Amino acid sequence: MKNITNLKEFACTPDRFQGGHRLCPGCAHSMIVREVVNATDDDLVISTATGCLEVCSAIYPYTSWDVSWIHIGFENAAAAISGAEAMYKALSKKDKLYNEDRRIKFVAFGGDGGTYDIGFQSLSGAAERGHDFLYVCLDNENYANTGGQRSSATPLGAHTSTTPRGRVSYGEKQRKKDLTMIMAAHGCPYVATAIPSTKHWKDLATKAAKAISTVGPTFINALSPCTTEWKFKPEETTEIADLAVETCAFPLYEIEDGHKLRITYRPKQKIPIEEYLSRQGRFAHLFKPENKWIIEEWQKNVDEYWDYLQRREEAGV
Amino acid sequence: MATPKEMLTTWDKVQFGAVLPSFEDPEHKKRSKFHSYNYSVADWRVEKPVFNRDLCIDCDFCWVSCPDSCFIVEEVVNKRGKKQAKIVGINYNLCKGCGVCVEVCPTPIKSLLMFPEYVDNDEALKQWPKKD
Amino acid sequence: MAQKYELKSKEVWDGNMAAAHALRQAQVDVVAAYPITPSTPIVQNYAQFLADGYVDGEFVMVESEHSAMSACVGAAAAGGRVATATSSQGYALMVEVLYQASGMRLPIVMTVVNRALASPLNIHGDHSDLYLGRDAGWIHLIANNPQEAYDMTLCAFKIAEDERVRLPVTTNQDGFLVSHTAQVVKPLQDEDAYKFIGEYKPLNPMLDTKNPVTYGAQTEEEWHFEHKANQHKALMDSPAVIKEVFDEFEKISGRKYNLVETYKLDDADIALVLMGSAYETAILAVDKAREEGIKVGLLMPRVFRPFPYNEVAEKLKNVKAVAALDRSAPMGTTGALYNEVAGALAANGQSAIMTNYIYGLGGRDTTVEHILDVIKETNENAKAGKRVTDLQGFINLRGPKLSFN
Ligand SMILES: Cc1ncc(C[n+]2csc(CCOP(=O)(O)OP(=O)(O)O)c2C)c(N)n1
Ligand code: SF4
Ligand code: SF4
Ligand code: SF4
Ligand SMILES: [Mg+2]
């Protein structure tokens, strides 16, 4: 496992995901990807599901990757990486590896659409089969690449292009699916949540390093604030991510062996959820008097979940 | 730096299976013409970040947060013999002017500030806010 | 090292066992597959070979056919020999990824056991799945019996992996009629089979991490057409290599295969064109018809894609009437094989009278008698010098006669 001590040293890592890609200015996807890729010195083979990251980092005739990379489709990043990992095993068994001296790690990236929704089956299958890979969900809570439609990661009340606010609608009706826990329930040896942030850079980098060095299927759900679809200014990306954590809308925790839960960051004082919601255009309508109950519902959900996490941590289950 | 238009070739000369090699010379990490590192997104910008080396404390927050891998880093050895990254500049071919780096820069007077694209960097440094 | 499997010079295998042995002998690095009738036994037999130490590659039992083909693509791009097996609904579920596999020029081999497509659900043989994959950019080889299922699978690896081709290949055998019908098969010994196929030749392997590559980039209107054209050219050029491989295979096996197979066509006045197990039934019908004085012959494209249209036209240049028999519901037009043959003849200025028959859907029996009826009708057209029968007829369909003009 790469020893991640301080940022000054970490910043000596040569980037293996490069600029010149076409992600929006201020896009969190690439902040997350850079940290994950930099969290190991091993060679990497990466698969990526269709979505913003894929579309913007491999527009022919350009690639932004300094590592081996494949995109097949929207729903099969996990299946693709299982195939590549199986080939690695087969060739090692047969003494036919291309570079005997290199150790290779396998990582898959998918958006929330490619992970929570259409790609969930292939992720579940790959996790259950026990392939040795890290899957990172870039969770921007919508189908950003196709114009901001809802996904099962879209939170309550959010305006998306398929759950628009309207005269008789307050936006998304469902709560966000708890994918991190679902992946833990697969018995994955390591599962964690993370955000792109200067304050929590080490949280993400350490989790990625841990996940990559853990043998077996590991999963990181990284909240990826989306300037374009959440509607905030590009320079605010990391600040919004920090607010998600400080309000406990998106708590930082990790789970080992499917059950050992540890909260990796505890806000000194939990900030009211309004401070997170009010910063994003997608929630603007919630501040109308008739939608006050949704904010209350939000706060209740956040409090309950935070409480649940703390009790689980305490109980060691 | 070839634009995609300039790289356009005919059907018999396209990359086999649309497979793109990252490097032209992998051993020396020389990136190929197919690498976006050799593509410019500078025209996305209306404002650019300007870096003031004199104020920088090398916390590397800008490096870790930049979505476009713009910060040019030099590896140096500190007094205690540990390697550390020193920020030496910004790759303006890759910078889209999002302003994240300015936002995260923690120095009391920011070591990074946004300026209109047309302002010369030397001029920008002259306009830098002064310490009280 | 995998153990050598002791094989007799003659084995009694069904099509599934034959295909499974071919995969074993190819020493495939990664097989990723999902079971579906009637190709399930290929997957099961392979699992047993693995369990008994005859296979040392990886066998990934994925959770769907979509993931099977996706894992195959990931594995093939990683850089090694890859194969899978499927049928029908499984094939349909893979379709998206079939295009992705061929577009990335990955030499995956898929042993297909052909089966009908629902709805209504049906587990028996017809060519709906093969036709579904027609435009997916794969080479499609046809096998009419277990021996051919074995031979074609061995040839498939050599064709797919040839640097002049680098395209995925399916081998096709009819569900149950071939896959579950045990016949004498003369296998090659393990070492001879492997020597014939040869070592896998890597091209842009992702696992060569010293030379990172990007697979699956997005091309838009500036580039997409050029890539598709390039791939089409590779398919159009592949017959030269396919012929070479067939010739080489003949040298070691004594069994000769051709782009287009024929039976008693040289002196024929009329011809039937069909693929799959019914071709063997048709051979019996031809012999019978010839006893009755009808000079009829048969033609089968061994290679359905790329379609050998010039060879087909050449072989049919002396016949007066041709009936093309399609084993798939044409759903609103003439059958695909009819269209191919009619196009081939038209392109070469030939004017044999052409008719189309739909037969055998969902495993419906097609007997010698049924084919004799087709031969007689075709002969009527030849004698009249114009089409006097309906354009499209249905064979062994219950109920009032169904036909179209
Ligand atoms: C099978 C299939 N269905 C639909 C699409 C269209 N599509 C492409 S990307 C995308 C949304 C991606 O959303 P997400 O996975 O959340 O990634 P993001 O773009 O938000 O990062 C959709 C719907 C597709 N490419 N393939
Ligand atoms: S739409 Fe959102 S996720 Fe997609 S590139 Fe833009 S900021 Fe990133
Ligand atoms: S403005 Fe944005 S893209 Fe440019 S250097 Fe700063 S963080 Fe990077
Ligand atoms: S964030 Fe500011 S102080 Fe820190 S390294 Fe960058 S420019 Fe220097
Ligand atoms: Mg998304």
Q: Using one digit for the tens of pLDDT, what is the confidence trace for C216-240?
A: 999 988 999 999 999 999 999 999 9
Ligand 3, atom 6, lies closest to the CA of B101
User: Same CATH fold, C260-404 and C11-253?
Assistant: yes
Q: Are A98 and A126 in contact (CB under 8 A)?
A: no
Q: Note the pLDDT tens digit of each residue in C118-135.
A: 999 999 999 999 999 999
Residue B20's SS3 state is strand
Query: How many residues are recorded in chain C?
Result: 405
Would you call A7 and B61 a contact, using CB atoms and an 8 Å cutoff?
A: yes
What is the mean pLDDT of the segment spanning A244-272? 97
> How confident is the model at residue C1, as a pLDDT?
78
Q: What is the span of the domain harbouring residue B47?
A: 42-116
Between 3.50.30.40, 3.40.50.970, 3.40.140.10, 3.30.230.10, what CATH number should domain C11-253 receive? 3.40.50.970
CATH of the domain at A76: 3.40.50.970
Which chain C residues have a beta carbon less than 8 Å from that of A84?
A: 74-75, 77-78, 206-207
* H helices, E strands: number in chain A: 11, 10
Which chain A residues have a beta carbon less than 8 Å from that of B63?
A: 7, 11
**B27 within a domain of the structure (yes/no):** no
Q: Are C110 and C169 in contact (CB under 8 A)?
A: yes
Would you call A72 and C66 a contact, using CB atoms and an 8 Å cutoff?
A: no
Measure the CA–CA gap between B93 and B38, rounded to whole angstroms: 8
Number of domains making up chain A: 1
User: Where does the pLDDT of residue B8 fall: very low under 50, low under 70, confident under 90, or very high at 90 and above?
Assistant: confident
| Candidates B23, B41, B98; nearest CB to A235 | B98
Q: Calculate how far, in angstroms, residue C190's C-alpha sits from the geometric centre of ligand 1.
A: 45
What is the mean pLDDT of the segment spanning C313-339? 98
Q: Note the pLDDT tens digit of each residue in C37-83.
A: 999 999 999 999 999 999 999 999 999 999 999 999 999 999 999 99
Which chain C residues have a beta carbon less than 8 Å from that of A122?
A: 63-64, 66-67, 70
What is the mean pLDDT of the segment spanning A112-131? 98
> How confident is the model at residue A195, as a pLDDT?
98
List the beta strands (DSSP E) in C168-320.
Answer: 169-174, 183-185, 213-215, 260-263, 270-273, 296-301, 303-305
**A175 within a domain of the structure (yes/no):** yes
Measure the CA–CA gap between A240 and A195, rounded to whole angstroms: 10
Q: Are C213 and B20 in contact (CB under 8 A)?
A: yes
Measure the CA–CA gap between C153 and A268, rounded to whole angstroms: 65
What is the mean pLDDT of the segment spanning A156-178? 97
**B122 within a domain of the structure (yes/no):** no
**B121 within a domain of the structure (yes/no):** no
**A306 within a domain of the structure (yes/no):** yes
> How confident is the model at residue A127, as a pLDDT?
98
User: Where does the pLDDT of residue B132 fall: very low under 50, low under 70, confident under 90, or very high at 90 and above?
Assistant: low
Q: Identify the DSSP state of C223.
A: T
**A1 within a domain of the structure (yes/no):** no
Percentage of chain B beyond pLDDT 70 is: 98
Q: Are A139 and A222 in contact (CB under 8 A)?
A: yes
User: Where does the pLDDT of residue A317 fall: very low under 50, low under 70, confident under 90, or very high at 90 and above?
Assistant: confident
**B17 within a domain of the structure (yes/no):** no
CATH number of C260-404: 3.40.50.920
Q: What is the span of the domain harbouring residue A248?
A: 7-315
For the Cβ of A52 lying below 6 angstroms from any atom of ligand 2, the answer is yes
Q: Note the pLDDT tens digit of each residue in B69-86.
A: 999 999 999 999 999 999
Measure the CA–CA gap between B92 and B100, rounded to whole angstroms: 15
> How confident is the model at residue B1, as a pLDDT?
65
pLDDT at residue A80 is higher than 80: yes
Q: Calculate how far, in angstroms, residue C59's C-alpha sits from the geometric centre of ligand 1.
A: 30
CATH of the domain at B104: 3.30.70.20
**B95 within a domain of the structure (yes/no):** yes
Question: What are the residue ranges of helices labelled H in A63-200?
Answer: 77-93, 112, 120-129, 179-185
For the Cβ of B105 lying below 6 angstroms from any atom of ligand 3, the answer is no
> How confident is the model at residue C336, as a pLDDT?
98
Percent helix, strand and coil across chain B, each to the nearest 5: 25, 25, 50
Closest CA to B96 of B71, B67, B72: B67
pTM, two decimals, is 0.98
Give one word for C254, left, alpha or beta, with left for phi > 0 and alpha for psi -120 to 50.
left
Task: Say yes or no: ipTM exceeds 0.95.
Answer: yes
Q: Identify the DSSP state of A155.
A: P
**B123 within a domain of the structure (yes/no):** no
User: Which helix (H) or strand (E) covers residue C49, if one does?
Assistant: helix C40-51
Measure the CA–CA gap between A315 and C157, rounded to whole angstroms: 56
**B29 within a domain of the structure (yes/no):** no
User: Where does the pLDDT of residue B101 fall: very low under 50, low under 70, confident under 90, or very high at 90 and above?
Assistant: very high
For the Cβ of A23 lying below 6 angstroms from any atom of ligand 2, the answer is yes
Mean confidence (pLDDT) of chain A: 97
Which chains touch B (3+ CB pairs under 8 A)? A, C
Number of domains making up chain B: 1
Measure the CA–CA gap between B89 and A226, rounded to whole angstroms: 27
Which chains touch C (3+ CB pairs under 8 A)? A, B
pLDDT at residue B131 is higher than 80: no
Give one word for C255, left, alpha or beta, with left for phi > 0 and alpha for psi -120 to 50.
beta
**B32 within a domain of the structure (yes/no):** no
**A222 within a domain of the structure (yes/no):** yes
